[in-house]
Amino acid sequence: MKIATWNINSVRLRMPLIEKYTQSHAPDILCLQETKVIDELFPYDALHALGYEHIHIHGMKSYNGVAILSKMPFRSTEVHHRVGKEDCRHISINLDDSICKNGMDIHCLYIPAGGDEPDRTVNEKFGHKLDFLDEMNRWFQDTYTPDRNVVAVGDFNIAPLEQDVWSHKQLLKVVSHTPVEVEKLTAMQDSIGWVDAMRHFVPEDEKCYTWWSYRNRDWTKSNRGRRLDHIWVTEPLRDRLKSLDILTEARSWEKPSDHVPVMVDLDL
DNA sequence: ATGGTAGGTACCCTA
């Protein structure tokens, strides 16, 4: 089963790219972030036509928004509200026994970017990001034991490892790579024993990026990327990981998102 | 040290 995640930066604008990606890479489940559209205006018909009959979404006007598109039916779906806001950043679905023995939960996450200043006393968006991480960590700990089949994907807006950014030293004070955020993400990863599925395939001393800023004239020349998008699986799924595909070339497609799609193939 | 680009919306916010 192929599970992919992609921060699409407006689902309506990127429909041609979604068509190109799904037809060439055929994910069974595609999780999107930053759909930027209310549920009533979501492009259901176009996605149904691409083979994604089962769609779970939570969107709002202009900002954020998450979606799970699937070729397989869901047993149940959930919307999760974090830190007292309804800002459309966390949904999940459950697959039944016929698809995965003992069932499986898949979470689609869009962790707050956190603004520019990595100091919560002057930047409340950074405070929101830290609180979001704490609350989500607590929620996963309260909800799951490490023996469950769980997948968490999405735009985490944090590049935790030194080789997840183009310059560890130069980004230590840049939101997405500051020690306080990395600490919280690592604490969450350790809590119920999440496996970083991308680093399962790419050695930690190798550069690995999923995002390149729009604010570079030529993203290929400077290659100042960051690994902001992640796929985590719980321990029982580690041995099921078959392959990883980071579609770097999608950053050069016409009218691209600043993030590229990431996919793992699970042997179920 | 600064400003660079993109999307959605409504003349500014977020990334």
CATH at A39: 3.60.10.10
**Which tokens hold the place of A240?**
């099921």
Most distant CA atoms of chain A, gap in Å: 50
Q: Which of residues 81-140 of A touch strand B (CB under 7 A)?
A: 112-115, 125
Asked if residue A61 keeps its beta carbon closer than 7 A to nucleic acid strand B, the reply is: yes
pLDDT at A51: 98
Q: Which chain B nucleotides are covered by protein, judged by CB under 7 A?
A: 3-9, 13-15
Q: Which residue has the tokens 């500051």?
A: A178
**Mean predicted confidence (pLDDT) in A111-140:** 97
Does the pLDDT of residue A217 top 90, yes or no? no
Rounded to whole angstroms, the Cα distance separating A110 from A64 reads 7
Range of the domain at A84: 2-266
Residue A145 DSSP label: -
Rounded to whole angstroms, the Cα distance separating A244 from A235 reads 17
**Mean predicted confidence (pLDDT) in A155-177:** 98
Which run of H or E residues covers position A182?
helix A179-191
Residue with minimal CA–C1' distance to B6 is: A214
Q: Say if CB A205 and CB A165 are below 8 A apart.
A: no
Rounded to whole angstroms, the Cα distance separating A29 from A191 reads 26
Does the pLDDT of residue A36 top 90, yes or no? yes
Residue A15's pLDDT band (cuts 50, 70, 90): very high
Rounded to whole angstroms, the Cα distance separating A219 from A266 reads 31
Count of the separate structural domains present in chain A? 1
The closest nt to A60, taking CA to C1', is B8
**Which tokens hold the place of A210?**
């999923």
